[in-house]
Chains A and B, each alone.
Chain A
Amino acid sequence: MARIVAGIASSHVPAIGVAMDRGTTETPYWSPLFKGYGPAREWLAKLAPDVAIVVYNDHANALSLELIPTFLIGVAGEFPIADEGFGPRPVPVVKGHPELAWHLAESLILDEFDMTIANEMPVDHGLTVPLSVTCGKTDAWPFPVVPICVNVVQYPPPTGARCFKLGRAIRRAVDNYDADLRVLIYGTGGMSHQLQGERAGLINQTFDRAFLDGLTKDPLALTGITHTEYMREAGSEGVELVMWHVMRGALDDDVTEVYRHYHVPASNTAAAVLILENKGAA
């Protein structure tokens, strides 16, 4: 049977992708961040999952305000790279896993999560930057991906508690998938940041560090954080952290924290990577 072996949380700051695409990762500005991702890349290469579920948000690229799905799953065989307004990133097309994706879509809907299903969809930096920064520069991504897209662009996003329950439902669906697959799940976005208004540039290291601790040890307690609290404490775009709850909900209650790295600033953002393993599953 399939099983979720680990979860990884990662920020998806577009400037991180630009630094990789332009080869500026060794500059004094960027090298602390990329060095911090080094152990995560090594861990991931060793883990060699068969497939990854990537929970991310689209930023006005595949989706516009025309249609705003709260939760969406991509079932395509491949996902092209979006032009976000400055040409597509020079990274490989993302291969999908239609069989697992359709299983998840059907299971989640019957489990009372009313997913939107996408047969065709480009993917943006929300998905490709976490892949780039954890897989490195490559001609082909090392595993296929099932994209799960969460609305955080139009208020209100789904609550943290709802996201955690979606993670639980993903876990049940994977556990019932009749193939011997080792599955990794990504939660992306965050940490504290605000891109807009006179308050742009807000960073809250105290909030972020407590969130990292809590996600490992007591994730249910964190699911009660309201949108207003995220926006007030972690910046208006810090509300992206709800997506980390999806990842955490798909893991065991009791996990091993394998690695974390936290860095300020990545452009306007506090960037972190956190790796959690289900005990004995990897």
Chain B
Amino acid sequence: MNQPRDYDSIPGTYVYDGRRGRIGYALNMFCMSLNDAKNRALFKADPASYLERYKLTPEQRRTVLDRDWLGMLKVGGNIYYTIKIAFCDGLTFQDVAGMMSGVTKEAYMQMMLAGGRSPEGNRYKQTAESEESAHG
């Protein structure tokens, strides 16, 4: 189950496969609950208490409370689920994408207007060192 996959060589990418599904289920199901307006109100009013309903690990809990969007992916978050926390905060996919890639909202928007992030140089992790910085 934990054997390497060929897509592990893609930099800055967290494929929601069985390895992540095994650790991310509770986190993502918490996010799913935010499709209900009543739950959104409860979560906004008292995030820490609301999270008690779900069996999150301490690190999963921290990433949610800190809005650590990239951190959520590393502990099993699936972007289609974690984005629901962002919607709760009034953020868009583009806002969160900018934060995950570590640039300002303005810089990210300019990159997209200029044609997006080029695949050149972004197909493969460059070295073990850069892998550390991407995932460490």
Contact across chains for A200 and B115 when beta carbons are under 8 A apart: no
A82 nearest CB neighbor, chain B only: B35
Which of the residues B10, B92, B113 comes within 8 Å of A265, measured between beta carbons?
B113
Binds A, one of B13-21, B47-55, B58-66: B13-21
Q: Does B119 contact A (CB under 8 A)?
A: yes
Contact across chains for B92 and A197 when beta carbons are under 8 A apart: no
Q: Does B37 contact A (CB under 8 A)?
A: yes
| Least Cβ–Cβ distance between A45 and chain B, in angstroms | 31
**14 A-B residue contacts at CB 8 Å?**
A60-B78, A83-B36, A84-B35, A84-B84, A155-B18, A197-B14, A198-B12, A198-B100, A199-B122, A202-B118, A205-B115, A233-B119, A264-B112, A267-B94
- Render B19-54 as a binary contact track against A, CB cut-off 8 A, 1 for contact: 001000100110110111100100000000000000
Q: Does A159 contact B (CB under 8 A)?
A: no
Which of the residues A15, A231, A264, A268 comes within 8 Å of B15, measured between beta carbons?
A231
A-side interface size class: 35 or more
Bound complex: CA of A88 vs CA of B16, how far in Å?
26
Task: Kindly list chain B residues whose C-beta atoms are within 8 Å of the C-beta of A270.
Answer: 116
Contact across chains for B134 and A201 when beta carbons are under 8 A apart: no
Contact across chains for B100 and A232 when beta carbons are under 8 A apart: no
Bound complex: CA of A275 vs CA of B21, how far in Å?
37
Task: Kindly list chain A residues whose C-beta atoms are within 8 Å of the C-beta of B73.
Answer: 196-197
Which of the residues B15, B37, B116 comes within 8 Å of A201, measured between beta carbons?
B116
Contact across chains for B116 and A264 when beta carbons are under 8 A apart: yes
A223-258 CB contacts (< 8 Å) to partner B: 227-228, 231-233, 236-237
> Looking at B5, B31, B84, B117, which has the most chain A CB atoms within 10 Å of its CB?
B117
Contact across chains for B21 and A65 when beta carbons are under 8 A apart: yes
Total residue contacts A-B, CB cutoff 8 A:
151
Contact across chains for B6 and A228 when beta carbons are under 8 A apart: yes
A236 nearest CB neighbor, chain B only: B13
Tell me if A's interface is mostly helix, strand, loop or mixed.
loop
Contact across chains for A197 and B12 when beta carbons are under 8 A apart: yes
Contact across chains for A199 and B35 when beta carbons are under 8 A apart: no
Bound complex: CA of A123 vs CA of B16, how far in Å?
22
Task: Kindly list chain B residues whose C-beta atoms are within 8 Å of the C-beta of A201.
Answer: 97, 101, 108, 111-112, 116-117
Contact across chains for B13 and A60 when beta carbons are under 8 A apart: no
Contact across chains for B87 and A84 when beta carbons are under 8 A apart: yes
Q: A66-B29, A85-B87, A197-B14 are in contact. Are A59 and B116 (CB under 8 A)?
A: no
B14 nearest CB neighbor, chain A only: A197
Task: Kindly list chain B residues whose C-beta atoms are within 8 Å of the C-beta of A200.
Answer: 12, 97-98, 100-101, 117
Task: Kindly list chain B residues whose C-beta atoms are within 8 Å of the C-beta of A196.
Answer: 13-14, 73, 79, 97, 100
Which of the residues B13, B17, B92, B118 comes within 8 Å of A194, measured between beta carbons?
B13
Bound complex: CA of A180 vs CA of B100, how far in Å?
51
Q: A198-B70, A265-B112 are in contact. Are A60 and B7 (CB under 8 A)?
A: no
Q: Does A61 contact B (CB under 8 A)?
A: yes
Task: Kindly list chain A residues whose C-beta atoms are within 8 Å of the C-beta of B79.
Answer: 195-196, 237
